[in-house]
Structure 1
Amino acid sequence: MSRHFLIIGGGIVGASLAYELSQSGQRVTVLEQHAVAAGASSKSFAWLNANYPDTPEYFALRLAALAHYRALAKAHDLSAFLRFGGSIWWEDEGEAFDAHAALLARHNYRSEVIDAAAFARLAPAIKNPPAKSLYAPEEAGVFLAGLTRWLIAQASANGAVVQTGIAVDAIERRGDRVTGVRTALETLSADHVIVAAGVLTGDMLAGLGFQLPMSNNAGLLLRSAPLPPLLDHVMMTPDVHFRQDPDGSLMMGEIFSGAFEAGCDIDALRSSVLDRVKARLTSPAPLAIAQTMIGTRPMPSDGMPAIGPVPGVKGVSVAVMHSAATLGPMIGHILAQELLSGEQAPLLDAFRPNRFSAQTPSAGEPAP
């Protein structure tokens, strides 16, 4: 029997959930207070990777997420969004570089150290290739806002109702069970509510009496005007990161996972990032900035995803994470399966929100 799932949030996580649940014939409503992909999903560097094996559980999660992307791309033509060209990484040098390469090798992560000649063959548009870099062929870049909108369009075609410009004022409950949500216009009932509200997730859950500590952080990214095809790979250099989307535009950033300082000189930082890319990239056309993006990334305080049932109340789940670009589509798939089957996936055991019930703080730097 079909159930009504109400999803708060129209970013990549909410869109993935809407897609998966609607594929299963469920009644789905998505409420997004702005536009689809208006938050972090349009302001993400969107490097799909498992390059930082922080913990065995998190590494396994990211590996599975990469595999899910490949399965999704095999089932659908996502060439307008996805570029599976791999990455070339040389953020660190010397002993730090060697240590990172050895770490990935110990985890059997598909990567190889390449010399300058091999680099030049892979990426001839890059000036002065380093003597040593790390090539990870199974990584990718994604035009995340485009993919998010595609998922929402697929969900809508499956019958999902998507309402934008609608803010959720409160999650409604009766006793120990959530019954729906309240907006400025109406109260909507649902069999199950899923909070995928990005940076607002902590505030949403606080109204239910559950404190999910968040360490949201800001970052700056630039998008160029479209250029001729130059890059197949995500470039992770010591002083700037950049990649090319299928439409020809470059995504560029110095800071995309959280060290951005409020009040800094945006114009100076933008010029600095652009100059660094120009110093590394040979382009037949002028490199011009088309868009400057300052976004806030949602992140639980320990740096790890929070996915699954909200402690202390029935009928509500949460899905919030940093690096939702990598994880979002797979999390949507697995969480939808859990909600439909009632069986919890072991892959998510380490990432349940009930780990915060004791409110034990944990500091950790998540992978980009």
Structure 2
Amino acid sequence: MAQRIAVIGAGVLGLSLARSLAFSGAKVTVFEQNTAGSGTSQTSFAWINSNGKTPQSYHQLNVAGIDEHKRLQRDASTSTPWLLETGTWEWATDEGIQAQLEQRAEQLNTQGYTACAVQRKALLAQFPELRLDPRIRKGWYFPTECLLYPSLFIARLLADIRSTPTLFREKSEVVSIEESAHAAKLTLASGEFWEGDQVVIATGRWSPELSAQLGWQLDLVNSNQGGKRACSLLARTSALPLQINSNIITPELNIRPDGGGRLLLQALDLDDHTDPARSPALDGLIGKEFLRRLRRLFINTEGARIEQIETGQRALPSDGLPAVGYLTPLQRTYLLVTHSGMTLAPILSRLVTEEMIKGDRSALLASYGPQRVLKPLSGIKSPSPPAYLPSAQ
């Protein structure tokens, strides 16, 4: 008999997993408290990469994520691409940072992750409007990396899910989870109930509230407090006459195309000023600083405008690494929370499906059981989560 599985959360992780479970024959119900993709998934720079990600096990997982994205795009039945295999260009001006970049590129090459040195002339040929600092004689190109359009990816996942018998419940908030030896049970804010075999918590930064239903305090970085570890500012520009078709990582600004000549900008040092409760004014200091940096970097930007500034709030376990696995020995409730969700969604959905349906846990997940970031809630006696053994880092 097909397993009955509820997936709570309809971001890219929840939707990817729901799709994979349904394609594997499970009877899936998706519960989303708002609408599909309305959380962190729509406020991401969406750079698909494993560039400088550590430890080695995390690097390998992200490499597998890139490959899985490319396979999924190749197998797509529609002509609308959400994934563009553009590669990433990066350079630095400070001598110390240049040395770090070169060391990182050399290390990546030893791992089979291609990093190509490119000379100044090649950078100027690739980006004709670029005002390149005269100190920069060389940069690096990472050809396997991609950029992703989150809305188009979500649309693909939803289309695939709708081709299955999956039940999709938007505006349906789950307020409690119960487990027994025989079933998992959910209670909705509406007073309705769902009962089945397994539940997945894929609610990103809202995961601690549901984990607490089973007696566990989940240690995530508090994205409501702001700051560069928890949040990132993303600025969208007006359409500009610039020939940019890939990710660019520069000393002052990260840049990627956002469709129709618009650009998506990120400046990591400005993230210290993030406040999730208050978006920066478009004509305020933050907006003006984005424009100053963009104009220093490219010609044809004198008339540029910032049309939107958003604060992305990360779903980030306290140690920076994924928390993926069952919460109790009953193996009824599965936790799926991670940073780099855009890169990892397709590979995690396949690996988690194999574990939930067949009981086979991949070696790629060996280091990422959730017990690392779980503490029992005070006064509540909870059975320990399964002892997933960490692999060598």
Relative to the length of structure 1, the TM-score reads 0.89
- Match among 159, 178, 184 for residue 179 of structure 1: 184
Residue equivalent to 1:189: 195
Deviation at 1:25, TM superposition (A): 2.5
Distance 1:115 1:233 in 2: 18
Distance 1:253 1:36 in 2: 24
- Match among 112, 115, 120 for residue 116 of structure 1: 120
Residue equivalent to 2:391: none
Superposition pairs for residues 147-296 of structure 1, below 5 Å? 147-174=153-180, 179-185=184-190, 186-215=192-221, 216=223, 217-227=230-240, 230-255=243-268, 259-262=272-275, 266=281, 267-283=284-300, 286-296=303-313
Superposition pairs for residues 15-54 of structure 1, below 5 Å? 15-54=15-54
Residue equivalent to 1:298: 315
The number of residue pairs the alignment matches comes to 358
Query: Unmatched 5+ residue regions in structure 2?
Result: 224-229, 377-393
Q: In the alignment, is the contact (CA less than 8 A) between 2:83 and 2:147 conserved in 1?
A: yes
**3-state SS, counterpart of residue 107 of structure 1:** helix
Residue equivalent to 1:366: none
Distance 2:174 2:182 in 1: 18
Residue equivalent to 1:362: none
Q: In the alignment, is the contact (CA less than 8 A) between 2:177 and 2:213 conserved in 1?
A: yes
Deviation at 1:114, TM superposition (A): 1.5
Deviation at 1:83, TM superposition (A): 1.7
Q: In the alignment, is the contact (CA less than 8 A) between 1:66 and 1:326 conserved in 2?
A: yes
**3-state SS, counterpart of residue 220 of structure 1:** strand
**3-state SS, counterpart of residue 38 of structure 2:** coil
Paired residue type of 2:204: G
Deviations 1:295-320 (CA, angstroms, capped at 9, x unpaired): 21110000001112113542111111
Greater radius of gyration (CA): 2
Deviation at 1:275, TM superposition (A): 2.6
Distance 1:120 1:105 in 2: 23
Deviation at 1:264, TM superposition (A): 8.5
Residue equivalent to 1:125: 129
Stretch of structure 1 that moved more, 32-41 or 219-228:
219-228
Q: In the alignment, is the contact (CA less than 8 A) between 2:5 and 2:199 conserved in 1?
A: yes
Deviations 1:50-85 (CA, angstroms, capped at 9, x unpaired): 111311101111111111111111111565422211
Distance 1:99 1:21 in 2: 42
**3-state SS, counterpart of residue 308 of structure 1:** strand
Distance 1:348 1:258 in 2: 30
Deviations 1:6-51 (CA, angstroms, capped at 9, x unpaired): 1111111001101111222321111111111111100001111111
Distance 1:92 1:150 in 2: 40
Distance 1:257 1:178 in 2: 47
Query: Unmatched 5+ residue regions in structure 1?
Result: 360-368
**3-state SS, counterpart of residue 45 of structure 2:** coil
Distance 2:5 2:362 in 1: 19
Q: 1:345/1:330 Cα in 2 relative to 1: closer, same or farther (>3 Å)?
A: same
Paired residue type of 2:312: G
Q: In the alignment, is the contact (CA less than 8 A) between 2:233 and 2:271 conserved in 1?
A: no
Deviations 1:259-287 (CA, angstroms, capped at 9, x unpaired): 44326854321221133123223448943
Distance 1:281 1:154 in 2: 40
Deviation at 1:172, TM superposition (A): 2.3
Deviation at 1:192, TM superposition (A): 0.8
Q: 1:293/1:261 Cα in 2 relative to 1: closer, same or farther (>3 Å)?
A: closer
Stretch of structure 1 that moved more, 159-168 or 255-264:
255-264
Stretch of structure 1 that moved more, 249-258 or 85-94:
249-258
**3-state SS, counterpart of residue 367 of structure 2:** helix
In the alignment, structure 1 residue 105 sits paired with structure 2 residue 106: yes
**3-state SS, counterpart of residue 351 of structure 1:** coil
**3-state SS, counterpart of residue 162 of structure 1:** strand
Distance 2:108 2:152 in 1: 32
Deviation at 1:325, TM superposition (A): 1.2
Q: In the alignment, is the contact (CA less than 8 A) between 2:245 and 2:257 conserved in 1?
A: yes
Paired residue type of 1:261: T
Q: 1:125/1:344 Cα in 2 relative to 1: closer, same or farther (>3 Å)?
A: same
Q: In the alignment, is the contact (CA less than 8 A) between 1:8 and 1:196 conserved in 2?
A: yes
Distance 2:302 2:343 in 1: 31
Paired residue type of 1:209: G
Stretch of structure 1 that moved more, 184-193 or 41-50:
184-193
- Match among 104, 123, 146 for residue 140 of structure 1: 146
Q: In the alignment, is the contact (CA less than 8 A) between 2:116 and 2:140 conserved in 1?
A: yes
RMSD across aligned positions (CA) = 2.4
Q: 1:184/1:123 Cα in 2 relative to 1: closer, same or farther (>3 Å)?
A: same
Q: 1:78/1:318 Cα in 2 relative to 1: closer, same or farther (>3 Å)?
A: farther
Paired residue type of 1:105: E
Q: In the alignment, is the contact (CA less than 8 A) between 1:242 and 1:277 conserved in 2?
A: no
**3-state SS, counterpart of residue 119 of structure 1:** helix
Residue equivalent to 1:339: 356
Q: 1:78/1:86 Cα in 2 relative to 1: closer, same or farther (>3 Å)?
A: farther
Stretch of structure 1 that moved more, 269-278 or 292-301:
269-278
Residue equivalent to 1:363: none
Q: In the alignment, is the contact (CA less than 8 A) between 1:307 and 1:319 conserved in 2?
A: yes
Residue equivalent to 1:364: none
